[in-house]
Amino acid sequence: MHYLVTGGAGFIGSNIVSLLISKGHSVTVIDNLSKGNLRNLEGLNFNFIKGDIRDDKLISSLMKKNVDGIFHLAALISTTKSIEDPTEDCNVNALGTANILHHAVRANVKKIVYSSSAAIFGELKESFIDEGHPLEPISPYGVSKLAGEKYCFAYSKSFPISVVALRYFNVYGVNQRFDEYGNVIPIFAERLLERKPLTIYGDGEQTRDFINVKDVANANYLAMMSDVNNCSYNVGSGSTITINELSRTVQKVSGIKAEIHYAPERVGDIKHCCANTSKIRSDLGFTASSNFEDALRDYFEWFLG
């Protein structure tokens, strides 16, 4: 089978590409390399196109090359930057997704697995977030990812294309590079490498559900290979740790000690976040299998090495 992976040179996308190739599939990657890095794909045999998912002519031409399915990951992923520039966030995440769907339908692509986010839920209203949790995002990023989901579901109801939306919680792992606007684990890793203090926003008791990127890649693969359509699934570990606990764990696995500095809470940050993963386990047979501390140690070996 031939798959198109948008944002395939990025952190999660590159891990999906690697898995697809290991399964014997052919892959085309489109990435504008604004955040993606071709080093993430070294040693892999695939077709690469540098471009933007909003490029109408380019996307139309890619869809005509016998694409069996699309893993749509290309997006702006920073809550902070979405607040700074909500228009660009919307253009890429919502309108870019609409463009992918439009041309996929015209080219008779069979299925799209859309990378969504737990940011669409907003603040936690229950002990665990299941797929029926109210969708009340509190950042432009969460709004744009939810809009992408809605576009996907509208197309799957109106046209002969199957769609699955995967709502990622806090993904970490190999190929996740430092970005000052990015996720906490690579930021902590960079600070440790530079022997600088770790900054924690708020009191550090906010909780996060961390899931390893290899598990996320597997969830994507299972979703594509399944018969399910017009469904959304939480993709998380189903357990949480506090940011204070995380700060201690990263020091332990890296072997580097650091001071902890506390700063005011950031606008748009969610206090608590944990996935109820019973639906994806039941429908797709997916369970996160990575041990957090072991996988974190593997990540630090990659990052610090």
Residues in the chain: 305
Distant-in-sequence, close-in-space partners of 231: CB < 8 Å, separation ≥ 6: 164, 165, 283
Distant-in-sequence, close-in-space partners of 292: CB < 8 Å, separation ≥ 6: 210, 212, 237, 241, 249
DSSP letters along 244-290, please?
HHHHHHHHHHHT----EEEEPPPTT--S---B--HHHHHHH------
Name the residue among 80, 85, 72 with its Cα closest to residue 148.
72
Decide if 141 is catalytic.
Answer: yes
Choose, from 141, 168, 221, 299, the residue flagged as catalytic: 141
Query: CA–CA distance from 255 to each of 22, 132, 197, 250, 259 (Å)?
Result: 33, 41, 14, 8, 14
Give the angle 169-302-188 at the CA atoms, nearest 5°.
55
Report the 10 Å Cβ neighbour count for 104. 25
Active site positions, annotated:
141
